[in-house]
Amino acid sequence: MKNLFVFAVVCLMAIGTSAQDFPKSDASPMDAAYFPSRAAFRGFEKTDEAKKANEPKIRVIYSRPQKKERDIFGGLQKYGEVWRVGANEATEITFFADAKIGDAKVKAGRYTIYAIPQESEWEVHFSSDNDRWGQYAYKPEESLVTKITVPTAKTPSTVESLAIMFEAVDGGAHMIIGWDDTMVRVPIMM
């Protein structure tokens, strides 16, 4: 009986020490966008030529906040205020080769994206301010790599979850950011 009791106590202690308290799912899940769009799947290509054509040039990692019947731009995200272009951590962009944004050359590397939305245009910032939660510690005077002003456009339909994607253009891509009924195209030349 004593041995059975000791065995039960040891089993209960083992269960207690191996239990984990994993965090609940975030309301704004992380996502990734690639240019070219099939870059993450290049390993499934049948030929070396197709694999090479789908090598990543740009990757964006971001959290996707939800509209949830809120007014986003001009409401939740005030015009003229810095925004992390997503939720949670600041949105991260990686250039796998040197790029050109507007007139500025940007070296291959990892950066964060911030924006200052206005009703008719956004000022989009590329920053060396990596590994940050939100935009609260962002100091453009210390970390701004380049910025570009791009016009806003209406989305064809309401975008419930923030979305970022790439559209191929001659010499590079447009990074398209859309949420609610607003979108912008940020030209990136490679």
Segment 72-103, tens digit of pLDDT: 999 999 999 999 999 999 999 999 999 999 99
Please tell me the pTM assigned to this model.
Answer: 0.85
- Any idea what the Cα angle at residue 133 is, between residues 150 and 81, rounded to 5°? 40
pLDDT in tens, 35-44: 999 888 888 8
Q: What is the pLDDT of residue 26?
A: 80
| Whole-angstrom distance, CA of residue 81 vs CA of residue 108 | 28
Does residue 153 have a pLDDT over 90?
Answer: yes
> Cα–Cα distance between 16 and 77 in angstroms, integer?
44
Which amino acid is located at 184 in the chain?
V
- DSSP type of residue 117: E
Residue 150 has pLDDT above 80, yes or no: yes
Structure tokens at 84: 């992390």
Angle at 152 (CA atoms; ends 147, 157), nearest 5 degrees: 135
What does the DSSP 8-state code read for residue 171?
T
Mean pLDDT within 6-34: 70
Give the pLDDT confidence score for residue 134 in this predicted structure: 84
> Alpha-carbon distance 146 to 149, whole Å?
11
Q: What are phi and psi of 13, to 5 degrees?
A: -65, -40
Q: In whole numbers, what is the pLDDT of the chain averaged over residues?
A: 90
